[in-house]
């Protein structure tokens, strides 16, 4: 792929954020977690794009929108490799890496069907007890939801 | 501990455990102290548990408190679909302390977050039952004169027995040496073993009950339930191998005592009841003093 084609794939934005290096097929989850489904600005996204680093990747561009650290870290569960690139006047201003947070609220369902958070209208809450293997200790039932049984709301 | 909820045994620290046990010893000497004359204790049993409910309500009555509540959610607005949150907010407007048992794990934690008064967890599904743990500790203290440096053997279902998990966690504060006797399928979960390791303590696993008789200061027996086994044949094989009988007690330490959260099925043979080692009925009685101590401490009168 030459430079011009790459340019077409990812139209430049004047002001806003580019979220790069999203694992392929997780773009829709990221859009959902960051509530970009309801964003009134221009939102462009692509999935299964060629990536030198990861083979395939997803990418999102949002105009006139910038994210705080705790919002950025919300996507750690689905896109731990993602980078948030802030653009002002077509120039890259900062690049921020996703970090796994200590606490996760209201994003993930507890895997335990008998947990009160799955039975009543209780916002889920977890402590990340193992950041590498993504083990989440439920604040309510005190059971561990592991990476292989993570379900998003 | 005034106004503090007790949901998990880890909500209290070592000093607080010891303080509760100290107050409980005082109530054992003098059980009728009308310290909660002006208090209303709500006893909310969303699932029935006669033993625990009677123990709590006896404790509240001995303190002079008035008790409101229900023993089974079948006859309440919960059955009409009222949320736990709404029930708790309503009751916390009436009572000074809420004692609750609920079939869902995490229900007591959630209740403590929406309630304006302290909540004591009397069991939330398979999760926690901290007052059982405190009365176990009280019984250990009473029989051994200390909680420190003891050899504690846990026998039976160590995988699903929540009282075992809490007591292991609590006794990690007291330099215990853990002896774990269970069938292969019902071993202590790795999360509990992690607690032991993180406290720099050690444990030994056994499959033969006889092995721990000469070393144990406390033998904590639990029920093995058939439905815990994926293979019914496996249950048939082990069901009689974790039964304590009088003749097995020969050679035990003189200070050794047998505890059991009750009810027992057949895991302690009835001939053990008459031995000086049997402590499980006294242990159940101790539950009242410990719950008195907890209610008094949380109400701020002790
Ligand atoms: Zn849970």
| Subunit contact A114:B83, Cβ cutoff 8 A | no
Please state the φ and ψ torsions of residue B96, each to the nearest 5 degrees: -95, -25
- Give the pLDDT of residue B89: 97
pLDDT recorded at residue B22: 98
**Nearest chain B Cα to A122, which residue?**
B110
Confidence at residue B191, expressed as pLDDT on a 0 to 100 scale:
83
Last residue within a domain, chosen from B103, B128, B153: B128
Q: Flag residues of chain B having pLDDT under 50.
A: none
| Nearest partner of B125 among B12, B11, B7, judged by Cα | B7
- In-domain check, residue B6: no
Q: Specify the pLDDT at position B75.
A: 65
Residue A115 has its nearest CB partner, among B85, B105, B128, at B105
Q: A114 contacts in B (CB within 8 Å)? A: 103-105, 125-126
Q: Are B148 and B122 in contact (CB under 8 A)?
A: no
Residues of B with a known catalytic role: 51-52, 80, 101, 129
B4 falls within a domain: no
What pTM did the predictor assign? Answer: 0.87
Where are the strands (E) in chain A, listed by range?
16-23, 43-51, 55-63, 83-88, 91-97, 103-105, 108-109, 125-130, 135-138, 144-145, 151-152
Q: Are B59 and B99 in contact (CB under 8 A)?
A: no
The predicted pLDDT at position A8 comes to 44
Structure tokens at B237: 């094989």
Structural domain includes residue B293: no
Burial (CB count within 10 angstroms: exposed 0-12, middle 13-18, buried 19+), residue B64: middle
Selected for mutation to probe chain A from B7, B47, B81, B106 (highest A CB count within 10 Å) is: B106
> What does the alpha-carbon distance between residue B186 and residue B208 come to, in Å, rounded to a whole number?
13
Chosen domain end from B128, B148, B170? B128
Q: Could you tell me the pLDDT band of residue A4, with boundaries at 50, 70 and 90?
A: very low
Q: Verify that B141 and B225 share a domain, yes or no.
A: yes
A134 compared with B28, residue with greater pLDDT: B28
Number of domains in chain B: 2
CA A73, A77, A81, A87 dihedral sign is negative
Residue A65's pLDDT is what? 95
Distance CA B170, CA B207 (A): 24
- In CATH, what number does A3-97 get? 3.30.70.140
What is the residue-averaged pLDDT of chain A?
88
**A103-152: CATH number:** 2.30.30.20
Judge whether A136 is closer than 8 Å to chain B, CB to CB: no
Q: Give CA–CA dist B230/B235, Å, rounded.
A: 9
Helix (H) or strand (E) holding B179: strand B177-181
Return the ∠ at Cα B107 (arms to B105 and B110), rounded to 5°: 130
Burial class for B183, CB neighbours closer than 10 Å (0-12, 13-18, 19+): buried
Last residue of a domain, one of B62, B97, B128: B128
Quick check: B106 and A140 CB within 8 A? yes
User: Dmax over Cα atoms in chain A, in whole Å?
Assistant: 54
Q: Domain extents for chain A?
A: 3-97, 103-152
User: Which sign, positive or negative, has the C-alpha torsion B11, B13, B16, B17?
Assistant: positive
Asked whether the domain spanning A103-152 has the same topology as the one spanning A3-97, the reply is no
Do B191 and A144 make contact, defined as CB atoms within 8 angstroms? yes
Which residue on chain B is closest to A118 by alpha carbon?
A: B104
Residues of A in contact with B105 (CB under 8 A): 112, 114-116, 140-143
Q: How far apart are CA B136 and CA B13, in angstroms?
A: 16
The string of DSSP codes covering B31-64 is ----TTTT-EEEEEESS--HHHHHHHHHHHHHTT
**Is B15 part of a structural domain of the chain?**
no
**Separation in Å, CA of A112 to nearest CA in chain B:** 9
Sheet strands side by side (includes B66-70): B66-70, B40-45, B97-102, B119-124
The answer to whether the CB of A75 falls within 8 A of the CB of A82 is yes
User: Residues A20-78: pLDDT tens digits?
Assistant: 999 998 999 999 999 999 999 999 999 999 988 778 999 999 999 999 888 898 888 88
As beta bridge partners, residue A49 has A57
Range of the domain at B55: 31-128
Q: Is the minimum CB–CB distance between A117 and chain B shorter than 8 Å? A: yes
Q: Tell me whether residue B42 is in a domain.
A: yes
Report chain B's C-alpha Rg in angstroms: 19
pLDDT tens-digit series, residues B184-199: 989 999 889 989 999 9
Beta bridge partners of A84: A19, A96
SS3 content of chain B, % helix, strand, coil (to 5): 45, 15, 40
CATH of the domain at B240: 3.40.50.1370
Q: In angstroms, what separates the C-alpha of A116 from chain B's closest C-alpha? A: 5
Residue B11 buriedness (CB in 10 A; 0-12 / 13-18 / 19+) = middle
Cα distances from B5 to residues A66, A109, B9, B12, B65, in angstroms, run 41, 25, 11, 9, 18
Task: Give the pLDDT confidence of B247-276 residue by residue, as tens digits.
Answer: 999 999 999 999 999 999 899 999 999 999
Q: Are A10 and A34 in contact (CB under 8 A)?
A: no
> Do both B152 and B203 map to the same domain?
yes
Task: Tell me what ipTM this predicted complex has.
Answer: 0.89
Amino acid A150: pLDDT: 80
């Amino acid at each position: 792929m030459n430079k011009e084609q790459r340019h077409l794939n990812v139209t430049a934005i004047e002001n806003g954020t580019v979220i790069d290096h999203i694992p392929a097929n997780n773009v829709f989850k990221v859009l959902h977690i960051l509530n970009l489904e309801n964003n009134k600005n221009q939102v462009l996204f692509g999935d299964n794009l060629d990536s030198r680093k990861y083979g395939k990747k997803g990418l999102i561009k949002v105009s006139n929108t910038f994210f705080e650290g705790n919002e950025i870290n919300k996507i750690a569960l689905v896109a731990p490799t993602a980078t948030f690139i802030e653009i002002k006047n077509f120039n890259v201003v900062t690049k921020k890496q996703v970090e796994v947070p200590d606490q996760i609220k209201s994003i993930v369902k507890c895997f335990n069907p008998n947990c009160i958070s799955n039975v009543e209208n209780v916002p889920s809450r977890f402590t990340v007890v193992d950041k590498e293997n993504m083990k989440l200790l439920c604040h309510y039932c005190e059971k561990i939801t592991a990476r292989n049984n993570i379900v998003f709301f | 501990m005034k106004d503090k909820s007790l949901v998990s045994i880890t909500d209290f620290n070592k000093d607080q455990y010891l303080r509760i046990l100290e107050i409980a010893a005082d109530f054992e000497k003098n059980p009728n102290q009308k310290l909660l004359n002006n208090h209303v204790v709500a006893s909310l049993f969303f699932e029935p548990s006669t033993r625990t409910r009677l123990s709590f309500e006896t404790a509240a009555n001995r303190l002079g408190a008035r008790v409101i509540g229900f023993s089974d959610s079948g006859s309440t607005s919960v059955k009409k679909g009222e949320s736990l949150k709404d029930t708790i907010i309503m009751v916390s407007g009436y009572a000074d302390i809420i004692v609750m048992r609920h079939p869902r794990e995490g229900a007591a934690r959630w209740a403590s977050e929406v309630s304006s008064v302290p909540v004591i967890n009397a069991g939330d599904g398979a999760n926690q039952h901290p007052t059982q743990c405190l009365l176990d500790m009280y019984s250990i203290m009473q029989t051994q004169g200390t909680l420190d440096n003891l050899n504690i053997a846990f026998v039976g279902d160590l995988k699903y027995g929540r009282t075992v998990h809490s007591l292991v966690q609590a006794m990690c504060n007291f330099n215990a040496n853990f002896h774990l006797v269970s069938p292969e399928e019902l071993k202590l979960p790795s999360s509990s073993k992690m607690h032991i390791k993180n406290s720099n303590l050690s444990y030994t696993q056994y499959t033969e009950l006889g092995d721990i008789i000469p070393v144990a200061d406390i033998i904590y027996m639990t029920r093995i339930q058939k439905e815990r086994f994926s293979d019914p044949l496996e249950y048939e094989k082990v069901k009689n191998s974790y039964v304590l009988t009088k003749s097995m007690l020969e050679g035990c330490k003189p200070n050794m005592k047998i505890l059991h959260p009750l009810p027992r099925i057949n895991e302690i043979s009835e001939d053990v009841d008459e031995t000086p080692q049997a402590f499980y009925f006294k242990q159940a009685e101790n539950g009242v003093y410990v719950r008195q101590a907890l209610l008094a401490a949380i109400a701020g009168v002790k």
